[in-house]
Structure 1
């Protein structure tokens, strides 16, 4: 069963406050948007959530929250989802690109707490995406400084939407040398950065050839290739077929 959102609440405190130890039959997601919120699970030490952190609590786990000056702001989502036993304990997601995008999308789409039907469905889709993220390899990656840097690099490439970007451009924008970025990327991913850039561009090219009505000249220009010959040579080197053959399924 996909998530069924029960309530979305935007909280804010400027003084001390506490929600005593309790449990409930539904899921709870806490997103801290300002300052800090402390939480304690039953028989465990107190933990601190900072702005950008998220806490996912499965049904039946006892927990409490403490709000201390200078005050905090947070978003609470409570929802139902089956199977309820897919997680045995709480999951803390520290501030990362994923939590930032999740929170920004939520705040951009939902301005109030009395949701319209399409807003409710949007939030439920985001909650399901959260569980997909937790099952992905990306969620298991440690967010040390090198991993954060590589995450930034991959995001820069993906956000180009198939357009060209060079290793030199990435290194210059991030204030690193080309050799450092290239070496670190290969160490942590097992793939060269140039190969990753080409693969992302190829994926976008395949998508446009297969699912859009744009002609190949337009796709060539949109993806930043100099001319059709250059695009065709790139595509054939990567796939063994030229763009027209790929589009026709031959």
Structure 2
């Protein structure tokens, strides 16, 4: 059965055609949101959840985990989601932020795994309230009607990720291959000059001194998405920024982020954001 699209991100069918969406899911026993989220293939972006009241049950294969107040969970792209209110409690309230990351965030999103590919973080008591307040500020900013709300929320999220990194010891960090960061930076800095077909992976491989197959494998392992998918997200991120901050034409912006065909760029942009470039710019300046 096909689920119809809706405008409520808390209900099945919401498309998440955005680079940052945030909210509060207030689950009360028997209430409208009292069902299990079931996304076998996960999502295109990341989700970070913060439990603030009650308990949630998260399942992966034959394992489960109970999320309690103060627990942060991170679901990387394509990670199966199956979670809901724990059966023997009355409530599960959790804030969440869905996002597609900036290139430099790669290492910051590698959290210690709890079950499957789901990461876990619980700050020490003295830092808990500060990080919780910052996370709630991300949600509040993302939900505001401010012209720059998404950009501001992304900046706050970057701050949150950096602060989390400062709280963990080097010994607890997952081993990370710096060549993935080099690849991310190379892509971001050369969006308009990389080859248009899959041979651009060979350019990246040459830059980081690995074979195309090896860098492709490492990239997917550490970021959760393919190099091609990552490049498309960075292109659209850059295009959104240019639409918001410059008078460049749609054609010029398409060229600037590596699309030789303006109409193809517009189709990709709309598939990623839900709006055409022209409509996106109009909404931004007339909000």
- Shorter-chain TM band: 0.3 to 0.5
- Could you tell me the TM-score, scaled by structure 2's length? 0.41
- Could you tell me the TM-score, scaled by structure 1's length? 0.46
